[in-house]
């Protein structure tokens, strides 16, 4: 009987000891306050809980109130230090490659690819970044301006003869088609398979609970990635089979790099890069554009001011039939304020992950080496100490504020050396689309527009509008 009792007691003691150390991790200093949650599961369920407001997510808000701007937790089995402090966030971005490096949970890396640019470091990251800038750098964006305008005008005209338009889906298709053409000369009208459909499946589960079981959003996400990668690989092989036929797109540039003697680029890295570029280029921008139109619909005074700026551009032209020039684009002062306010309030990228390369001491706390860091842009963008009435949409708050990158209080496009290389291209697409929209059309919301954060931003009912061409008297 005693042996059985001891046999039962020993495992219980071991489990108790393990649970205690899980909930009370040690370090050479003082860990931030917080809870590690249940063993292995941590606070994963709370992190992925649904939220239907533009405010800071309850997961963050409750813990900020209880523990302060820096706290510890555990998500999908990984110990995490959560940062909502602007100074500490800025410090993390500035110390990229020295004290911190880009990192994603294994479940997220599985989705984006083991060799995605966000998971690469040092020389390889800089090499890939320079490749991307060859397409999205300032000089190339200038050259693309007329095509961006033609695309926006054509799509808007097409939508104006439809009874209703679901704007998120429509703008996503518009941006994807333009980007896919520039990257891989992909033409949906002449393609045997629909590449974007696979990205749609991918996006729906991107920031869902990581349960890989048939029927779950996460499983569909993985399947979408698998199918999209298969199509990209087939396109790459087709291009290799016709070496003399140049299309002057990004795929040609990638093939040249792959064929160079001693190249560090591999096919796996190239395909992961192409996948990430296609995803990042259209999903975030289409969401921002949809919210921009929703904000305009909700605030006639902002719409009036934006429309006045763009109609002034048209009136000041010598040739009324000419398209947008780069000088005109750069003159859109209020438009850039409007875009800043849209992405500030949208918080499309809810969190940004890093990992501590060594033990770090900051503001009285210790961050152990190997722990994950979660930077939370929304906690900064919605901080009433930094933005008066932070939940109010007010583009005029940006008057006189010049932003060419990330700041301590604005990180909608990331920060540091990993500041989004496509930020300028996204702004061009938004500004040009808005120019075409407000000068030539009026619209009315029909249904949808409700947001859902899980923590990724979604529009579960879409945003349906009726688009109509303006009359000469309007």
Indicate if the pLDDT at residue 333 is higher than 80.
Answer: yes
Instruction: Supply the pLDDT for residue 378.
Output: 92
Instruction: Supply the pLDDT for residue 325.
Output: 94
Instruction: Supply the pLDDT for residue 202.
Output: 67
CATH number at residue 342: 1.10.630.10
Indicate if the pLDDT at residue 268 is higher than 50.
Answer: yes
Higher-confidence residue: 242 or 203?
242
Indicate if the pLDDT at residue 296 is higher than 60.
Answer: yes
Q: pTM, whole model, 2 decimals?
A: 0.88
Which pLDDT band holds residue 224 (cuts at 50, 70, 90)?
A: confident
Is residue 108 domain-resident? no
Is residue 352 domain-resident? no
Phi, psi of 359 (to 5 degrees): -65, 135
Give me the mean pLDDT over the 257-267 stretch. 82
Which pLDDT band holds residue 284 (cuts at 50, 70, 90)?
A: confident
Indicate if the pLDDT at residue 117 is higher than 70.
Answer: no
Which pLDDT band holds residue 15 (cuts at 50, 70, 90)?
A: low
420 is in an annotated binding site: yes
Smallest CA-to-CA distance from 219 within 92, 328, 354, 110 is with: 110
Higher-confidence residue: 46 or 190?
46
Instruction: Supply the pLDDT for residue 18.
Output: 47
Instruction: Supply the pLDDT for residue 207.
Output: 58
- Point out the least confidently predicted range of 41-55, 209-223, 435-449: 209-223
Is residue 85 domain-resident? no
Higher-confidence residue: 188 or 310?
310
Q: Which residues pair with 375 in a beta bridge?
A: 83, 352
Is residue 75 domain-resident? no
Mean of all residue pLDDT scores within the chain: 84
Greatest mean pLDDT among 17-26, 261-270, 355-364 lies in 355-364
Instruction: Supply the pLDDT for residue 148.
Output: 95
Is residue 162 domain-resident? yes
Greatest mean pLDDT among 176-180, 199-203, 378-382 lies in 378-382
Is residue 197 domain-resident? yes
Indicate if the pLDDT at residue 198 is higher than 80.
Answer: no
Give me the mean pLDDT over the 106-123 stretch. 65
Instruction: Supply the pLDDT for residue 262.
Output: 79
Which pLDDT band holds residue 305 (cuts at 50, 70, 90)?
A: very high
Instruction: Supply the pLDDT for residue 407.
Output: 80
Q: Over the chain, what HEC string results?
A: CHHHHHHHHHHHHHHHHHHHHHHCCCCCCCCCCECCCECCCECHHHHCCCECCCCCCHHHHHHHHHHCCEEEEEECCEEEEEECCHHHHHHHHHCECCCEEECCCHHHHHHHCCCCHHHCCHHHHHHHHHHHHHHHCHHHHHHHHHHHHHHHHHHHHHHHCCCCEEHHHHHHHHHHHHHHHHHHCCCHHHCCCCHHHHHHHHHHCCCCCCCCCCCCHHHHHHHHHHHHHHHHHHHHHHHHHCCCCCCCCHHHHHHHHHHCCCCCCCHHHHHHHHHHHHHHHHHHHHHHHHHHHHHHHHCHHHHHHHHHHHHHHHHCCCCCCCCCCHHHHHCCHHHHHHHHHHHHHHCCCCCEEEEECCCEEECCEEECCCCEEEECHHHHHCCCCCCCCCCCCCHHHHCCCCCCCCECCECCCCCHHHCCCCHHHHHHHHHHHHHHHHHHEEEEEEEECCCEECCCEECCCCEEEEEEECCCCC
Higher-confidence residue: 471 or 288?
288
Which pLDDT band holds residue 9 (cuts at 50, 70, 90)?
A: low
User: What is the side-by-side order of every strand in the sheet holding 78-83?
Assistant: 70-75, 78-83, 372-375, 352-356, 100-102
Instruction: Supply the pLDDT for residue 17.
Output: 46
Is residue 190 domain-resident? yes
Number of domains in the chain: 1
Instruction: Supply the pLDDT for residue 203.
Output: 66
Give me the mean pLDDT over the 369-395 stretch. 93
Instruction: Supply the pLDDT for residue 125.
Output: 73
Cβ neighbourhood burial of 274 (10 Å; 0-12, 13-18, 19+): buried
- Point out the least confidently predicted range of 51-60, 316-325, 326-335, 343-352: 316-325
- Point out the least confidently predicted range of 231-240, 308-317, 327-336, 375-384: 231-240
Q: What is the pLDDT of residues 414-454, one digit of tens each?
A: 887 777 788 888 999 999 999 999 999 999 999 999 998 88
Instruction: Supply the pLDDT for residue 145.
Output: 94
Instruction: Supply the pLDDT for residue 405.
Output: 65
Segments forming the whole domain that contains residue 300: 115-347+382-469
Q: What is the pLDDT of residues 67-105, one digit of tens each?
A: 999 999 998 888 999 999 888 888 898 888 889 988 877
Give me the mean pLDDT over the 252-275 stretch. 82
Is residue 161 domain-resident? yes
Indicate if the pLDDT at residue 5 is higher than 70.
Answer: no
Give me the mean pLDDT over the 407-412 stretch. 86
Indicate if the pLDDT at residue 14 is higher than 50.
Answer: yes
Instruction: Supply the pLDDT for residue 236.
Output: 82
């Amino acid at each position: 009987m005693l042996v059985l009792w001891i046999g039962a007691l020993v495992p219980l003691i071991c489990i108790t000891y393990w649970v205690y150390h899980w909930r009370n991790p040690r370090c050479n200093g003082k860990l931030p306050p917080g809870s590690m949650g249940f063993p292995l599961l941590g606070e994963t369920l709370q992190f992925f809980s649904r939220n239907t407001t533009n405010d800071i997510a309850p997961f963050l808000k409750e813990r900020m109130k209880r523990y302060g701007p820096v706290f510890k937790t555990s998500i999908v089995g990984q110990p995490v230090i959560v940062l909502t402090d602007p100074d500490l966030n800025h410090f993390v971005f500035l110390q990229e490659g020295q004290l911190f490096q880009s990192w994603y949970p294994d479940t997220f890396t599985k989705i984006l690819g083991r060799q995605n640019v966000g998971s690469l470091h040092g020389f390889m990251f800089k090499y890939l970044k320079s490749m991307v800038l060859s397409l999205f750098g300032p000089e190339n964006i200038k050259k693309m301006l007329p095509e961006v305008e033609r695309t926006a005008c054509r799509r808007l005209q097409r939508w104006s003869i439809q009874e209703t338009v679901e704007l998120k889906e429509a703008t996503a298709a518009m941006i994807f088609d333009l980007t896919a053409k520039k990257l891989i000369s992909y033409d949906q009208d002449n393609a045997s398979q629909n590449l974007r459909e696979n990205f749609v499946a991918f996006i729906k589960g991107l920031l869902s609970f990581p349960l890989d079981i048939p029927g779950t959003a996460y499983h569909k996400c993985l399947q979408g990635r698998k199918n999209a990668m298969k199509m990209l690989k087939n396109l790459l092989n087709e291009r290799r089979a016709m070496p003399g036929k140049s299309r002057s797109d990004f795929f040609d540039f990638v093939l040249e790099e792959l064929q160079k003697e001693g190249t560090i680029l591999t096919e796996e890295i190239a395909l992961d890069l192409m996948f990430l570029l296609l995803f990042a280029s259209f999903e975030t921008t289409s969401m921002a554009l949809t919210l921009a139109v929703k904000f305009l619909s909700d605030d006639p005074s902002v719409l009036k001011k934006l429309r006045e700026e763009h109609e002034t551009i048209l009136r000041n032209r010598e040739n009324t039939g000419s398209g947008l020039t780069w000088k005109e684009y750069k003159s859109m002062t209020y438009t850039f304020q409007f875009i800043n306010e849209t992405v500030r309030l949208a918080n499309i990228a809810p969190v940004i992950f890093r990992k501590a390369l060594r033990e770090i001491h900051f503001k009285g706390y210790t961050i152990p080496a190997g722990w994950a860091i979660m930077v939370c842009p929304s906690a900064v963008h919605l901080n009433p100490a930094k933005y008066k009435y932070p939940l109010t949409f007010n583009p005029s708050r940006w008057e006189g504020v010049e932003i060419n990158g990330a700041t301590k209080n604005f990180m909608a496009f990331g920060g540091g050396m990993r500041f989004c290389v496509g930020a300028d291209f996204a702004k061009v697409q938004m500004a040009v689309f808005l120019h075409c929209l407000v000068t030539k059309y009026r619209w009315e919301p029909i249904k949808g527009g409700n947001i859902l954060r899980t923590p990724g931003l979604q529009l579960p009912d879409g945003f349906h509008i009726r688009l109509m061409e303006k009359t000469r008297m309007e």
